[in-house]
Structure 1
Amino acid sequence: MKNSIIWKLIFTAVIMAWAVLSLFPIKDTDFRDYVLAEPVDNAAEFNELVEEADSRVTENYPFVAALRDTANEKKVNLHDQYFPHIKMVREPNLQRANKIITDYLYQQSRGKLHLGLDLDGGVSLVLSIDAEQDPNAQNVRLEKAVEIISGRINALGVAEPLIRPIPPNRIEVQLPGVDLQQNPELIVNLVKAARLDFRTGHRYLRPNSDPNRGPIDNVGDLKSLPLNPGNPNGPSAMYEVLADERTDAKTGETTIVKYWVKKIPEAHGDIIDEAYIDMSTGSPMVGFTTTSEGSEIMKNMTQRIVDENASTRTDELLVVVLDGELESAATVQSAISRNGQITGNYSQDEVIQLVSALNNPLEFALKVDQMQEVGPSLAKDAQDASISAAMYGAIAVVAFMVIYYLFSGVVAVVSVSLSLVIVLGVLAGVGATLSLPGIAALVLTMGMAVDANILIFERIREELVAGKSIKNALKIGYDKALSTIVDANVTTMITAVILFVLGVGPVKGFGLTLAVGIGASVFAALIISRALLEIIVHGGIAEKVIPNFSIQKGLGIKSLNFLGKRKPAFICSWALVLAGVVAIFIAKDDIMGIDFRGGAEVVFEFDPGSKDTLEIAAIEDMAVANELGEVIPVFQSEIGQNIERLRIQVDSEEGRTEALVNAMLATFPNAELVKVSENVIGAAVSDQIVFNAIESIAFALIGILLYVALRFEIGYGVGAVVATIHDVLMSIGLFVILGQFLGIGSGQFTAPMVAAVLMIVGYSINDTIVVFDRIREELELNPSMKLFDVINRAISLTLSRTLLTSITTFVAAFALFIFGVGVVTDFALVFLIGIVTGTFSSIFIASPVFYAWHKGDRKHVTDHEYAKPTYEWEAGSKRATKESDSDKTSGAPA
């Protein structure tokens, strides 16, 4: 076996082993069972500790907390005595060390892929701005508070949260896969105000006596002291006692160090531009950069401290105070301006939480009004139906590839299946949450992932038709396809990276998933598929078992005059886009779902024995029968209580909640329903997320334009951008027309629709670049051919690949549309439209725009072409001489 094949197999085996290991455990393991199965030192002693912790467990006091608290009380270091094999930064503080170990073990016991709110429910919190704490808190904008809470949750690694305002002063937060009993600090970090002050102070020295007040040694005590301790008669200011907890690195003993800290701050947290985790000293600290104005404030403040310490020997300190508690007291050796550090006795988790709070400062603290467990928002039968639809879609892709490409199709299916394992492994590694639209997106990714394989197979087929041997056809096919695969996926990767870097919430999550999918599919096509094909070809299996290597047949498409039909196609296409825009304007009051425009929420109590009749599917059927529009029913129960309620969200149309209550009472008379409350709810998808998605797409299009302009030529970039804009507008418009006027789909936009539109962007670019890459190649191969004919030839040569890729993705999306339910159906419908428009635009929009940009003259292409980079596999290729031509000289029809 050739060395090149061996290293591909080894590399593949390593990647696959890592991906599979990243997925396990797939399901959560009981924490007690998990720790008992872990290898431990002093097993008998550890079992005694477990038994003692068992005796303390209650419904509201889980085993993980009981084990940690028992170890703390017995002065037992779990790491040193039982789990020394777990690598961790040395933590001398016993309580923190034990928390780090139990948190680590708890996370290891959980399944690596978490299910979203629609599949598995989660925890719901209702937070409110505490107006009693400070009357000015009423002036805080609720939207700003929602934005800050979103930033904190995302920084803490909770994926796919639902966050919506409840006017006038409350916020609902739903978190999938979070155990608040195991991680109560999460709530504390969500609701803390994070008011940061930079102050000055001195080391506290307890006086022997104070005739007026006695010994001053309580935190919070106030006293007027001289600014310069060496000059008792000098100017004075109000100081307070604040304390810092320090742990001896050798003994682990904790001591309290107190400071006199000036009451009035020198500066506030608004001078910080960004906080980050700083590991430069080997221990976690908080690093920060200041704003341009803050840099000058920080420089003046620290320079004054340095100068006064040098002249008066006052030993003045720079003190950082967060929410009234001392975080750091440091000696200033030299002036600080742009960058600084907040040092303290922090664990890694504490630094992460502090950085999150500083980057998302909330002026006023929040309080927790309600805390419930919520059930899945999607009914069990709906879950089963949509998961079955995903399976049907995957089976359809497999069947098509095997039927059309025979044994080669089997190779493609194997490589694509392995790429999906890689995608899931990466998502599990980053702690992603898998929702039902996410599963649907993976199926569509599978349909799109065969694109590279189809491109390669079609290139090999061309070489076989040209009379090449199987071995040569395989090598040449890969060599020719490589440039196109790189260009197509680099442009899509630009989109993914920009969405991830600039996006927030679901936009950022989609960017990550898209980037991982691109990398995995390219790896599968160029490494896995090639290794398998090379084994088949060089092992002689192809000639003996599979006649003609089973990819020699094509669609038989000859050169067609696509460009000649560009004007009527262009006019009809943009007329349809205009019709979609008009439809959106006409139906503007109905196209936005509850996720986007908010609505109302009604909470019911019910007879627990009748819950079987209150199935989510039955409630949704009731809503359809009574024309109540979109409804989102979920069950919730107070944490620590055995009380369950039904919460139903509806749109905000006048009289809707009253109609809902009446319909529920009439439909479920035996459930003993009682309306408990009714609230107005805000949008789960904020204006910021919508604006951010549009902004990210705009920057992605600019990035694509620049890349294509540098890699190809500016005309190609303009064509690609125009085609992408066309596809997005047409897909949205047709979705509204079909749903609002023809009754196909809901015609309403929900949160997953953001991801569906972003998928269209990626699909459209990929398809267009394949055609453009072939145009560029044909310009080089046919130096005397006119531009009009070159474009027609390039489209014809890539049409089989375009249609085959569209078919595989279409059958996957069609299965989701036919067999799925609810949001999955709409998700699939949007993408079905996107597939058709993307295929159409690569032929009748992108290519004609490129042709018109150069006025039909191939010399214009040459004159405006940048000196593109030459990839290694293109080294030695000769660029052909290009001649001027136009429609008139070619005699081609307009």
Structure 2
Amino acid sequence: YTISPLLGVDVQEKGKTAIIVAAVVVVGFMLVYYWMAGLIANLSLVLNVILILGAMALFDATFTLPGLAGLVLTIGMAVDANVLIFERMREELAKGASLRMAIHNGFSKAFSTIIDANLTTLITAVILYSGGTEQVKGFAALLFIGILMSMFSALYFGRLMFDMFERLKLITPGNMLGWSFVRSGTAFDFMGKQKLATVLSLGLILGGMAVLFSRGNDNLDIDFTGGSMVTFQFQDNPGIDEARASLEKEFGNDLSLERLVVPSLEEGGADEIYFRLRTKDEDTVDVRRKVNLAFENSGHELTKVTMEFGEPTEIPKAAEGETSTAAAPDFFAGGTEAVLSFSGEVTTSTVQDLFLEAYAGVTGNDALNSDETASLISLVGTAGSGVDAKESSVKRFSQVKLQVRPEVSKEVVQQSLADMQQSMTDRPILDEVNTFSSAVAGEAKWSAIKAILLSLAAIIAYVWFRFTRLAFGLAAVVALIHDVLCVLGLVAIGSVLSRTPIGPMLGLVDFKINLPMIAAFLTIIGYSLNDTIVVFDRIREVRGKNPNITREMIDASLNQTLARTLLTSATTLIVVIILYLLGGEGLHGFAYCLLTGIVVGTYSSIYVASPILLLMTKRDI
């Protein structure tokens, strides 16, 4: 598999560090809490991750930030499957069952719950993949692979390990399940707190929506509004707050800024510091101008890269009997080529932008916005002249060969290169210049909304089919809508608080809703749905053949699944909190959504989905 260059080296390194730390903590937690059963769960998790990475490599899949969201959800659901089985075993042992029978009944009774929870999420993944944007498809693809692998590792591999360990007498009733911080037989009156929970939910939703609507388009990143993204570097190393203050003088508050730390590939070398600016201004020429003005008298000098170029020469045509690729492709043969040398390393996309801008000035063509004009040139980095990042497809070179098609005269190429050379001498280099058109952004927004709505409809249909009553499907979706609204509100509130003294203390920034954050919302939906299905499955079991659902049945079901709910939430929260603290600014908004979503999702499975189910069944829905 490959890691998408969109993640950036900074996000890659910090994301990997966060995931490794989280994995160590989760593995340690499972060992301490479940002892030998925890060891088997950890072996299943390791197998799960190996199978996922193997499947990604087999299909040559690309690892994106939404893909990371899918991996987090997959790990959460894999842990949950093991916890469901183990807590069932604990119940069986408490009833006096033998070890072998407890293992058999634990897997048998948890089987339908695990299948229901995973199949519901699997259906969602299929719909998201078929109707979502490329980023949403990345989330759906990894989620689909992850669910299949986690079911295999938990239900088949886990059972195999338990049977083998039991026959070898490596596990006993005393060492199998460790200890429990949630005592069995709890009798909390969850339904009795319903009025308080309703007030809390309504207050959070209404307050959050008020802040959300008051911010308007300020809630949205350029993925959904259109705009530009540029990356630049300083000769020194100013703080991000100082850099943001300088940029706000030119751009106003309509920007977001990330500080990226790119580790040196040379042993003992200094890390490189980059800043990535995202603004709703779609004119990249204007963005370049404003960035230059912002730091002109700031005391911090942006990095400049100068260029030298050799004499442009004609590209040789293929000789008779020689294939065109041996000399040059047919459409470049007879054109002009030149070798460009830079004082620092640059990407070929940056060189293309600079050359086309100079070409536009010479010819009057709108080079920056024309794919046809861009196809006139070819840029290839000279082997050995730059850094090929080991874990990314991004390449930076200090020497690049430029080829221009014969439609452009040698004189125009030479003048364009001279203007480009002068331009680079006069102004700093801006790397990774990207434009997001408002039309494409609008399509992405509606595509994401449509995929989510279709997923909710599919959830209602499947849960209705499995639980034989529409009320179950509607109650599950009401809880999901509750979760999404709460987290949307918390994102807006977090953005407002980021500009107060409390913001930096909590690690809050001006969060913007973008495509990776949509993946986080989809993760919340998947996690909350999994939680709700587990509770509904226990309600169905407690109800038995009774056609009615009572308040007592729901309280009993919630108490019986309480240990599993708290354990799954705790392990998933460990992953997300570490991602939030160590993942860096590139993962901050994404991790914030997951963090608030898991808390809200756990709450809603108890205090929203179950009461709504009771209300609907009383009305015979």
Give the TM-score normalised by structure 1: 0.49
2:494 maps to: 738
Distance 2:457 2:547 in 1: 33
Distance 2:452 2:434 in 1: 35
1:819 maps to: 582
Distance 1:691 1:788 in 2: 40
Distance 1:679 1:778 in 2: 56
- Residues 506-585 of structure 1 correspond to what in structure 2 (within 5 A)? 506-543=135-172, 547-551=174-178, 553=180, 555-556=182-183, 558-585=186-213
Correspondence 1:778 to 2:534: no
1:669 maps to: 301
Q: Sort the Cα spacing of 1:701 and 1:652 in 2 relative to 1 into closer, same or farther, 3 A.
A: closer
- Residues 152-191 of structure 1 correspond to what in structure 2 (within 5 A)? none
Distance 1:795 1:516 in 2: 30
Distance 1:659 1:675 in 2: 12
Deviations 1:490-524 (A, max 9, x none): 11111111111222311222211111111111111
* Residue identity opposite 1:496 in structure 2: A
* Residue identity opposite 1:579 in structure 2: G
Distance 2:229 2:556 in 1: 59
2:464 maps to: 709
1:390 maps to: 19
Identical aligned residues as a percent: 37
Q: Sort the Cα spacing of 1:623 and 1:698 in 2 relative to 1 into closer, same or farther, 3 A.
A: same
Distance 1:458 1:711 in 2: 23
* Residue identity opposite 2:481 in structure 1: I
Distance 1:809 1:647 in 2: 31
- 2:3 pairs with one of 88, 96, 115: 115
Correspondence 1:692 to 2:321: no
Distance 2:453 2:206 in 1: 20
Distance 2:551 2:138 in 1: 42
Once the 2 structures are TM-superposed, how far is the Cα of residue 676 of structure 1 from its aligned partner? Answer: 7.8
Q: Sort the Cα spacing of 1:475 and 1:648 in 2 relative to 1 into closer, same or farther, 3 A.
A: closer
Once the 2 structures are TM-superposed, how far is the Cα of residue 652 of structure 1 from its aligned partner? Answer: 3.7
- 1:623 pairs with one of 232, 243, 248: 243
2:316 maps to: none
1:765 maps to: 529
* Residue identity opposite 2:495 in structure 1: G
Corresponding pairs, count: 466
Distance 2:275 2:435 in 1: 13
Distance 1:761 1:427 in 2: 24
* Residue identity opposite 1:577 in structure 2: I
Which secondary structure state, in structure 2, belongs to the residue aligned with residue 748 of structure 1?
A: coil
In structure 1, stretches of 5+ residues that fail to align are: 1-112, 120-376, 605-610, 636-645, 865-894
- Residues 750-761 of structure 1 correspond to what in structure 2 (within 5 A)? 750-761=514-525
RMSD between superposed Cα atoms in Å: 3.1
Deviations 1:529-571 (A, max 9, x none): 111111111222213xx72522563511502111121222123
Q: Is the 8 A contact 2:224 2:444 kept in 1?
A: no
Distance 1:770 1:475 in 2: 19
Distance 1:493 1:679 in 2: 34
Distance 2:231 2:199 in 1: 52
2:554 maps to: 791
Q: Sort the Cα spacing of 1:603 and 1:763 in 2 relative to 1 into closer, same or farther, 3 A.
A: closer
Distance 2:457 2:73 in 1: 26
* Residue identity opposite 2:464 in structure 1: A
Q: Is the 8 A contact 1:764 1:838 kept in 2?
A: yes
Distance 1:412 1:602 in 2: 44
* Residue identity opposite 2:587 in structure 1: V
1:844 maps to: 607
Q: Is the 8 A contact 1:114 1:434 kept in 2?
A: yes
2:345 maps to: none
Q: Is the 8 A contact 2:35 2:175 kept in 1?
A: no
Which secondary structure state, in structure 2, belongs to the residue aligned with residue 583 of structure 1?
A: helix
2:60 maps to: 431
Distance 1:676 1:813 in 2: 36
Distance 1:756 1:514 in 2: 12
Which secondary structure state, in structure 2, belongs to the residue aligned with residue 560 of structure 1?
A: coil
Which secondary structure state, in structure 2, belongs to the residue aligned with residue 559 of structure 1?
A: coil
Distance 1:705 1:774 in 2: 18
Q: Is the 8 A contact 1:419 1:521 kept in 2?
A: yes
Which has a greater percent of helix? 2
Q: Sort the Cα spacing of 1:114 and 1:807 in 2 relative to 1 into closer, same or farther, 3 A.
A: same
Deviates more, 1:834-843 or 1:691-700: 691-700
Q: Sort the Cα spacing of 1:847 and 1:591 in 2 relative to 1 into closer, same or farther, 3 A.
A: same
Once the 2 structures are TM-superposed, how far is the Cα of residue 663 of structure 1 from its aligned partner? Answer: 3.8
Deviations 1:580-618 (A, max 9, x none): 1111111123222233323346798xxxxxx7x559x86
* Residue identity opposite 1:630 in structure 2: S
- Residues 53-92 of structure 1 correspond to what in structure 2 (within 5 A)? none
Q: Sort the Cα spacing of 1:669 and 1:493 in 2 relative to 1 into closer, same or farther, 3 A.
A: closer
* Residue identity opposite 2:427 in structure 1: V
- Residues 316-715 of structure 1 correspond to what in structure 2 (within 5 A)? 377-379=8-10, 383-436=12-65, 438-439=67-68, 441-543=70-172, 547-551=174-178, 553=180, 555-556=182-183, 558-600=186-228, 614=235, 623-626=243-246, 628=248, 629-631=255-257, 649-652=277-280, 660-665=291-296, 666-669=298-301, 671-672=303-304, 674=427, 682=437, 686-712=441-467, 713-715=469-471
In structure 2, stretches of 5+ residues that fail to align are: 249-254, 262-273, 305-425
Distance 2:231 2:596 in 1: 38
Bigger-Rg structure (1/2): 1
Distance 2:169 2:231 in 1: 69
Distance 2:212 2:12 in 1: 30
Which secondary structure state, in structure 1, belongs to the residue aligned with residue 96 of structure 2?
A: coil
Q: Is the 8 A contact 2:302 2:428 kept in 1?
A: no
Once the 2 structures are TM-superposed, how far is the Cα of residue 404 of structure 1 from its aligned partner? Answer: 0.9
Q: Sort the Cα spacing of 1:680 and 1:774 in 2 relative to 1 into closer, same or farther, 3 A.
A: closer
Deviates more, 1:840-849 or 1:553-562: 553-562
* Residue identity opposite 1:470 in structure 2: L
Distance 2:484 2:207 in 1: 14
Once the 2 structures are TM-superposed, how far is the Cα of residue 822 of structure 1 from its aligned partner? Answer: 1.6
Q: Is the 8 A contact 2:122 2:147 kept in 1?
A: yes
Once the 2 structures are TM-superposed, how far is the Cα of residue 386 of structure 1 from its aligned partner? Answer: 2.9
Q: Is the 8 A contact 1:601 1:647 kept in 2?
A: no
Deviations 1:24-61 (A, max 9, x none): xxxxxxxxxxxxxxxxxxxxxxxxxxxxxxxxxxxxxx
Q: Is the 8 A contact 1:460 1:473 kept in 2?
A: yes
Once the 2 structures are TM-superposed, how far is the Cα of residue 791 of structure 1 from its aligned partner? Answer: 0.6
Deviates more, 1:618-627 or 1:431-440: 618-627
1:184 maps to: none
Q: Sort the Cα spacing of 1:681 and 1:614 in 2 relative to 1 into closer, same or farther, 3 A.
A: farther
* Residue identity opposite 2:535 in structure 1: V
Distance 1:455 1:719 in 2: 22
Q: Is the 8 A contact 1:461 1:552 kept in 2?
A: no
Q: Sort the Cα spacing of 1:652 and 1:492 in 2 relative to 1 into closer, same or farther, 3 A.
A: closer
Moved over 4 A (4+): 600-604, 617-622, 632-635, 646-649, 653-659, 675-681, 783-786
2:390 maps to: none
Which secondary structure state, in structure 1, belongs to the residue aligned with residue 142 of structure 2?
A: helix
